[in-house]
Amino acid sequence: MSSEMNDESIVVAGRPPKKLALLIGNNNYEHGDKLKYCINDVHDVANELKQMGFQVTIGTDLPYVTMIQIILRFQRQINTDDLVVFFYSGHGIQWEDQNYLIAIDNKCLADDTEMYRHYAIRVQFILESMTKRRPSTIVFLLDCCRTYLTENQALSNTPLTKSIPENTTRTGLTTMKGVAGSLIVFACGPNEAVLEESKNGRNSIFTYHLLKHIVKPNLKIDELMCHVCNDMFEDTNGQSCCYRLSSLRTPNVYFNALNEGEILVKHPMSSFFL
């Protein structure tokens, strides 16, 4: 387990907007399928974001309590007009039409789906808690559409979704309720799963293509994700493509703009939550 945090929760009057990123990657789950590429994904994306001037917070192989803590501490760093990126690579699941991220201490989730409510982290909660800090834009990158198996189900090769009541838990993630100023990107479409495969032996398919395009200067984020989607589609023979839910209020959102003034557009989200 590791985490790297920037402690910048003090608001400074008149300070310029920041570019902030929180990246979490979980490989070594205590129960069920372990993953291979998530920690690499986090470090590789983080390195690129640092080069673009992002203040980066990283957490890897996090248990539930630590995962909640790092999210809440990061949330407190966000101030009005900041550009915020949240990247997660690991296991996730949908239950009762909500998406949950799964920490590595997941034994309690194996036998009782009600435990998702208490020991998995609801993605909508993360989005809404960050939104309250009035950033200009939030970008969620969710590379967690893998089929999630518990330990016993992995041995029997039976997906989790077949052992619980219908219409409660399904494969992959479901769509979400966006908020103004947000872009949510899933590694695949709703109710779909991506295989734990790699094109380069280091990164997931989604992150591999994200890394190819995220470094390109003056590429709007919507255009960037179109390139990622197209490359995934070609690589998987049409079997997989990232899915985007956009509520952006401006087309001029960049990860790597030569003119920094175009990145941090002043449309604080909180005006939609008064």
What's 188's domain CATH number?
3.40.50.1460
Q: How far is Cα 247 from Cα 260, in angstroms, rounded to an integer?
A: 21
Cα 150 to Cα 74, 92, 110, 154, 256: the distances in Å are 30, 12, 6, 6, 39
30 within domain boundaries: yes
Instruction: Indicate the residue type of 147.
Output: T
pLDDT score of 148: 53
pLDDT band of residue 147 (cuts 50, 70, 90) is low
CB 204, CB 37: distance < 8 Å:
yes
Structure tokens at 29: 């789950």
pLDDT band of residue 274 (cuts 50, 70, 90) is very low
pLDDT at 44 over 80: yes
CB 163, CB 173: distance < 8 Å:
no
What is the domain count for the chain? 1
12 within domain boundaries: no
pLDDT at 233 over 80: yes
122 within domain boundaries: yes
| pLDDT mean over 129-149 | 85
Cα 4 to Cα 54, 107, 254: the distances in Å are 14, 26, 25
121 within domain boundaries: yes
Partners of residue 7 on adjacent β-strands: none
Task: Name the pTM for this structure.
Answer: 0.81
Q: Which of 63, 56, 79, 75 is nearest to 4 (CA)?
A: 56
Strands 169-170 and 98-101: unpaired
Instruction: Give the list of residues 6+ apart from residue 235 with CB closer than 8 angstroms, or none.
Output: 199, 205, 209
207 within domain boundaries: yes
CB 179, CB 269: distance < 8 Å:
yes
177 within domain boundaries: yes
Backbone angles phi, psi at 109, to 5 degrees: -85, -10
For residue 51, what are the domain limits?
A: 2-7+17-272
Backbone angles phi, psi at 112, to 5 degrees: -140, 110
Angle at 157 between CA 156 and CA 160, to 5 degrees: 100
pLDDT score of 15: 64
Residues 246-267: pLDDT tens digits? 889 888 899 998 865 544 444 4
Angle at 86 between CA 252 and CA 168, to 5 degrees: 115
